[in-house]
Amino acid sequence: MSGPDAALVLERVSRWYGNVVAVNDVSFSLGPGITGLLGPNGAGKTTILHMLAGLLRPSAGRVSVGGQVAWRNPAVYRSVGLVPEREAVHAFLTGRAFVEMAARLQRLPDPRAAAARAITTVDLEGAADRPVGTYSKGMRQRVKIAGALVHEPPILLLDEPFNGMDPRQRLHMIGLLRTMAEAGRAILFSSHILEEVERLADGVLVIHAGRLAASGDFREIRRLMTDRPHTFVVRSSDDRRLAAAFMTEPAVFGTELRDGRLTVRVAEFGGFTRAVARVARGASVSLFEVAPTDDSLESVFAYLVSRR
Amino acid sequence: MTIFGEIAQITLRALLGRRRTLLMLLLAAIPILVGLLVRANARPGPVDVGAFLDAIVIRVVLPLVALVFGTAALGSELEDGTAVHVLTKPIRRSTIVLAKITVAGTLTAALLVPSTIVAGMLIAGLLNTRPGSDPITATFAIGLGVLVGSYLYAAIFVALSIVTSRGLLVGLGYALIWEGILAGLLPGSQVFSVREYVRGIAETLEPSSIESIVGSSAVAYAAIALVAASVIASLRLAVYEVRGGE
């Protein structure tokens, strides 16, 4: 999305710390809906969220939120709610006192009622009058979310919001964020867990080593991630014969036999997994194990960056 | 409640809810304890209230207590991340800074002004105080100087905690090295010393209480330093960047 309706805009934004480039020439534009900011730890996700939240100055480029420049502009917080990754909340405050404080600092006309609504929204009524210091990690996460949405902002930024939540709380939070997105809010959340983003986000921004590796519809990115070169380790009754048989397959571009282990490099994940059983059967070889070796998110992200 | 009051209240609870309160109470009790000791072991010869309060309160306890409260009021929250919940609200940065300075200064003054008065009274109650001096008036004059110094030190240390994450260390360096050593070696540097402003205010109120280089100009210097520290703190907080990003 672009143009005046875009809620969150980064235009050729970079951020560096001394000689270290944390975010490198990133541009995107987001409107209402849920977008996942996906990338491994240290990729630059928090830096991007902090720049959008006006807590970091971009070294280059322009960051705007709701049509306003985010940096050095406290007025922007009327329309933005931020849920930081760090758990820090004053331990002596009760959950209710924390959310009411957020409501008063937002100058809401009825802070008590607004806080009660936000606490109900995050399903924390039962523990609202206990000090935050006694909360579990998941409860702290929820009270921070209540504090961020107490003024019902049209834009919500969440840094790793599911950290520490149990499966039931995750489901509840996914439902809550979906409802908020359906009401027209722009929600951007960061995560390093692929499945989390897949379950929740309409769109996805993949960040790796400070660069925007991919963006758009999740299914398209999922396909790119799947159809990349892979390496498999295969164990069979006759590795040498199987290696020769694999070389006739168009999906395979290399095999290696070393230390009694057959490694197969393939051009395309789907093509190879469909062909492997047929090739083994044709060569009269029994398969014992077929395992991909490089399925870490890190390698997926590195591949996506290298394609650009 | 106003925004200022809301921030002040949370700051007060954060500062009082920790072990530092006990430590600060102990520090504030030192002048009284030493006063009791002096009184119990009073020897022949004059006792100078001004010199006594200068050595214990103005040189040691005041900068230390103000340093702890001043750097913790905002610096601790910036370090542990709790400040983000206030920084991401539509609030003027000067409001945040003034609330922090007010709370840190008030806590320092609330502990040290009574401590100064009680300790001074213990000494003033001795028969053999310095001839020609009015020890009770001197005590109250120094107490007022400590009151002003509490807010002034608090403002400087709040500003320092925004400028550097090592505010406590730099503040200690200022109190020990700048005010403690350099002021003795380079008398001109005392113009930039809170300690000297506290003395000057006391001297202006009661000339026999204590001697200072800056004299009655201390009031103007203190006012300029207070405004400058508050403005610098507000400007620095407006461009403050959170730490701990990836």
- A91-133 pLDDT, tens digit per residue, is 999 999 999 999 999 999 999 999 999 999 998 999 999 999 9
- Enumerate the residues of chain A whose CB falls inside 8 A of the CB of residue B90: 74-78, 106-107
- CA B220 from centroid of its chain's CA atoms: 17
> B17: which chain A residues are within 8 Å (Cβ-Cβ)?
92
Count the Cβ atoms, other than its own, within 10 Å of residue A32. 20
pLDDT over 80 at A218, yes or no: no
Sort out which chain B residues have CB atoms less than 8 A from A54's CB and list them.
88
Distance CA A252, CA A229 (A): 10
Minimal CA separation from A169 to chain B, in Å: 23
Q: Beta-strand (E) ranges in B31-168?
A: none
List the structure tokens of A136.
Answer: 């579990």
Sort out which chain B residues have CB atoms less than 8 A from A88's CB and list them: 80-82, 84
B93 and A74: CB-CB below 8 Å? yes
Cβ(A265)–Cβ(A254) below 8 Å = yes
Instruction: Show Cβ contacts of residue B199 under 8 Å, excluding neighbours closer than 6 positions.
Output: B54, B58, B145, B210, B211, B212, B214, B218
* A106–B82 C-beta distance less than 8 A: no
Q: Residue B72: pLDDT above 50?
A: yes
Beta strands A155-159 and A80-83 are parallel
Nearest Cα of chain A lies from the Cα of B66 at a distance, in angstroms, of 22
Of B6, B80, B89, the CB nearest to A77: B89
CB A154 within 8 A of CB A127: no
Mean pLDDT of chain A: 87
Radius of gyration of chain B (CA): 19
Environment class of A26 (CB within 10 Å of its CB; exposed 0-12, middle 13-18, buried 19+): buried
* CA A52/CA B88 separation, integer angstroms: 11
Contact A80 B6 (CB under 8 A): no
Task: Output the pLDDT for position A280.
Answer: 92
Question: Given this model, what pLDDT does residue B100 score?
Answer: 98
Structural domains in chain A plus CATH codes? 8-216 (3.40.50.300), 227-307 (3.30.70.100)
Mean pLDDT, residues A236-254: 89
Shortest alpha-carbon distance between residue B19 and chain A (Å)? 13
Distance of CA B180 to the CA centre of its chain: 15
B-chain CB neighbours of A74 within 8 Å are: 89-93
Cα–Cα distance, B218 to B221 (Å, whole number): 5
User: Are the CB atoms for A277 and A287 separated by under 8 Å?
Assistant: yes
Cα–Cα distance for residue pair A215/B84, rounded to 1 Å: 29
Q: Label residue B18 by pLDDT band (50, 70, 90).
A: low
Helix (H, G, I), strand (E, B) or coil at A58: coil
* Stated pTM of the model: 0.84
Query: What number of CA atoms fall less than 13 Å from residue A280's CA on the CB side?
Result: 18
How buried is A219 (Cβ within 10 angstroms: 0-12 exposed, 13-18 middle, 19+ buried)? exposed
Instruction: Calculate what percentage of chain B has a pLDDT beyond 70.
Output: 93
> Do the Cβ atoms of A89 and B88 come within 8 Å?
no
pLDDT of residue A120: 94
**Partners of residue B74 in chain A, C-beta under 8 Å:** none
Going by DSSP bridges, is the β-strand pair A155-159/A186-191 parallel, antiparallel, or unpaired?
Answer: parallel
How many A/B residue pairs have CB atoms within 8 Å?
86
The tokens describing A235, both together, are 């164990």
Q: Is the pLDDT of residue A196 over 70?
A: yes
pLDDT of residue A10: 95
Contacts of B239 in chain A (CB under 8 A): 57, 72
Reported ipTM: the value is 0.88
pLDDT of A3 higher than 60:
no
Q: Which strands form A8-17's sheet, in the order they lie side by side? A: A20-30, A8-17, A60-65, A68-69
Facing residue for B1 by CB, picked from A75, A104, A144: A104
8 A C-beta contact, residue B63 and residue B195: yes
Write phi, then psi, for B46 (nearest 5 degrees): -70, 145
- Give the residue extent of every domain in chain B: 3-238
Q: Interface of chain B against chain A, CB under 8 Å?
A: 1, 3, 6-7, 10, 13-14, 17, 80-82, 84-93, 238-239, 241-242, 244-246
Q: How many residues does chain B have?
A: 246
pLDDT tens readout for residues B193-219: 999 999 999 999 988 888 888 888 999
pLDDT tier at B244, thresholds 50, 70, 90: low
Beta carbons of A55 and B10 less than 8 Å apart: no
Q: Over 70: is that where the pLDDT of B131 sits?
A: no
Where b means 16+ CB within 10 Å and e means fewer, B117-142 reads bbbbbbbbeeeebbeebbbbbbbbbb
Nearest residue to B95 via CA among B65, B64, B174, B103 = B103
Q: Positive or negative CA dihedral for B1, B4, B7, B12? A: negative
**In 3D, which of A91, A188, A189, A100 has the Cα closest to residue A146?**
A100
pLDDT in tens, B113-126: 999 999 999 988 76
Task: Assess whether pLDDT exceeds 70 at residue A306.
Answer: no
* The predicted structure's pLDDT at residue A2: 45
Contact state of A102 with B85 under an 8 Å Cβ cutoff: yes
Mutation pick from B88, B235, B237 vs chain A, by most beta carbons of A within 10 Å, is B88
Q: Quote the pLDDT of residue B182.
A: 82
What pLDDT is stored for residue A39 in this prediction? Answer: 85
